[in-house]
Structure 1
Amino acid sequence: MPYHRTPRIALLALFATVAALPAQDNGKSRGFVLEAGEHQIGDIIERAARFLGRNLILEPTEIGRGVPAITLQKSLNLDVHGCEEVVSQLAFMKGLVMSPVDEERGIFEFINVNGPRRAAIRSVLKKPEELQRRPNLVIKVTTVIYLEHVDAKVVTQNLRPFVHNNGRYPAVLVGNVGTPNAIMLQGIVGDVLETVATIRRMDVPATGSVSANDLVARIERLEKERAAINRSLIELREKVRVLEGARPGGSSGVQPATTASPRRAADRAR
């Protein structure tokens, strides 16, 4: 029975045809493009939701009416991280913060920081190094940093007036977590990172700090120096007493030397 190769050839031709077809593009290969010109923040969020494949919810009550458009002088072509960061920044310019509803399912909402639902803005627990990788993402976070050289309560007490009165809203919250070397911070990523940098500058060894043994040795050395100074003072007082006794009318009995006249000195020379 003859062997037919026609099916194999047809199959290879089909594979070649499929391979030559362009790959399906979901839009992410081109990036998230914001053209130059005016944009409403609601439209930007809607487009970002389609690009990211998420649900980004913005209720009309959160944005209000008559909000000015955002004007871009130059177009932007952004990747996924860039889209998240820029959209969160533009939203924050309009008083909105992106808050997770169900992060695993990709559901987020934008809440007005000055509105009645501002308390509903959820904070995401992050490590400091995670925040440093995304410093431009505008979300509310909570983090804990650990100190090496200074007491956490002292740092907290000195830091609170600055972070509460810097005019920013929402302000960074600073608190202790029950241990002498840990501080908890809560706020927008950029503000929290600035506070972390300030704390790091404060967390340095005290200038001139010494151990107990060094202090004991220093005290002993100072005691010896003081004893030597006392001996020198006694010797100086004795010398002063002797010099005072050698003056005219002094009590030592030593008569002061007299100077011979020039004539008498010449007679002796003869």
Structure 2
Amino acid sequence: MKKSLLPILFLVVSTSTFSQRKSELFAEIDTLKSRISQVEQELAKAKREISSSSAEAEALKTENASLRDANATLLGNLSNFSELSKQNSENVNKAMAALARKEKQLSGINDMISANDSTAIVSLTRIKQTLGENAKVAVEGGIISIGSSLNVLFGSDTSSELTAEGKTWLAGIASIIKSNPNFKAEVEGLNITGEFESTYNQVASVATELVTNSEIPAENIAISAKDGNFKEGINIKLQPNYKAFYAQAKESAKAAQ
């Protein structure tokens, strides 16, 4: 009986030990499965992070390329801007130099105009000193106009023969003309009847007296006759020699260039 119980006891012990061992194996399997699952999760997470890092690296690579292109473009633009700025500076300098030349030219012309105006004012004073304070003198646009009636010059409005008083008056006019060699003289006859023959004869008589007896160069005297608009008489007009003035202005402009 004891001999039969011993194998049974051994079998029971072996069975119990095997069952325990099996449970431990299952528990270990579960633990391994859990670890495998955790590792798989960590691997998946690592793959995601690697994928994200790769995407970021690619994005950074693209951004870096864009930045390099932008930097190259910026450097090119800066170079172009520098060149344009240099050209603009040169253009401004050229414009300023041209402006300075123009100002110098205008300054010279203004000086000549001022000189003519000053001469006209000085001449006006001398004319009154020569012909008297009651002389009919006017200045307009730089032109000096000295007037006399037909009765004083010719004794009537139709005569063309100078009176003694008229010759004396013209002698004073001749003195004024000679003292202003830069001015041209014009004998202007004013008529209110519309018949200019007698007016032309009168201005010709005045011009002849100035040229013949007062030795005024004929080329410095012009004559004209026009409607006086209810005024008649003789005007001696002294005006700047515009031809010489413009020639002088032209030379002044050339010198200022």
- TM-score category, normalised to shorter length: under 0.3
Which is helix-richer, 1 or 2?
2
Which is strand-richer, 1 or 2?
1
TM-score (norm 2): 0.20
Q: Which structure has the bigger radius of gyration?
A: 2
